[in-house]
Structure formats: C-alpha cells, structure tokens
Amino acid sequence: MSLMILQSTMTLALELSVPLLMAGLVVGVVVSLFQAVTQINDSTLSMAPKIISVFAAVALLGPWMFHQLLQFATHMLTYLPGGAS
C-alpha cells in the first residue's frame, strides 16, 4: 500500500513539474541560440524570459494543476486507512 502511495505521489509531482520545466527549457534554448547568433552575453537576457515563461505556464496551467492536486488529496484522504469515509 505504501509503495502505491509513493508511486502515485511521485507520478503526480512529475506530471505537475514537467510542463513548467519544459517551458523554461524551450525558452532557455531559444534565448541561448539568440545569444550565440548575436554574441550578446547579458545575464538578464537569459534569465528574464525563462522566469516570464514559467510564470505564464503557471498562469495557464494553474487551474489544471490545482484540480490534479485536489483530486489527489481527496483520493488520499478517502482511501487511506483511517481516512474520512
């Protein structure tokens, strides 16, 4: 039972984090290519778009992420031994 809980927890953590990480990764690669082509080496140019893209992803995917977390918490509280019935 505990391995199943651990597996579902880790799966949910992965499902919720991958879209945010991918948004930052894609924007980071595009900005790095732009910096390599134009030979501009500014640290704010590399960080600001990544931060903005991650915040945009949270804004777009926030309701879905909240629903997933709420569904998981409800499932855990309902089906754990001693949980609410």
55 found inside a domain: yes
The range of the structural domain enclosing residue 59 comes to: 2-79
- The predicted pLDDT at position 20 comes to 95
In a 3-state reduction of DSSP, which class is residue 34?
A: helix
Count of the separate structural domains present in the chain? 1
12 found inside a domain: yes
In a 3-state reduction of DSSP, which class is residue 42?
A: coil
84 found inside a domain: no
Per-residue model confidence as pLDDT tens for the chain (85 residues): 788 889 999 999 999 999 999 999 999 999 999 988 998 888 778 899 999 999 999 999 999 999 999 999 999 888 877 655 5
> What percent helix, strand, coil does the chain show, rounded to 5?
85, 0, 15
- The predicted pLDDT at position 83 comes to 55
85 found inside a domain: no
